[in-house]
Amino acid sequence: KDYSGDIVLWIDLGQMDEKRLRKACGRAENVIVYTYNLKSATAWWRQYGATYERFKNLRVIHLHAEEIEKLCERSMRLQCNISDGELSFHSERGDVTILQEQWQ
């Protein structure tokens, strides 16, 4: 939010339903939806993508994050670098690069 209380950026994860997305786009200047499970996100986008094109302040970005689980452990220390649309995570268990794909 800005100092006047207006929502500048609304960020959501996963596959939003149309009611919530309509609410977000109506209240915020910019809305970004990050999806992360390719199979379910693709099905969601096929079903609703054409409907969501009417929202001019909406961006939908898919994160190819299938390998991130290999870094997970009870006590983690992660380093993250963002460069040219790539997110690189580094830990004691290894490195993972997450690519972003903009769908809208």
**Mind listing the domains of the chain with CATH numbers?**
7-102 (3.10.640.10)
DSSP conformation class of 56: T
Length, in residues, of the chain: 104
Phi and psi at residue 73, to the nearest 5°: -155, 170
Instruction: Tell me the β-bridge partners of 35.
Output: 62
Which pTM was predicted? 0.80
What was the pLDDT predicted at 37? Answer: 86
> pLDDT (tens digit, 9 = 90+) per residue, 18-73?
899 999 999 999 999 999 888 999 999 999 888 898 999 999 999 888 888 888 88
What pLDDT score does 62 carry? 92
**Interval 89-102: pLDDT, tens:** 888 888 888 888 88
Q: How much is the mean pLDDT over the chain?
A: 89
The C-alpha atoms of residue 14 and residue 81 are separated, in whole angstroms, by 22
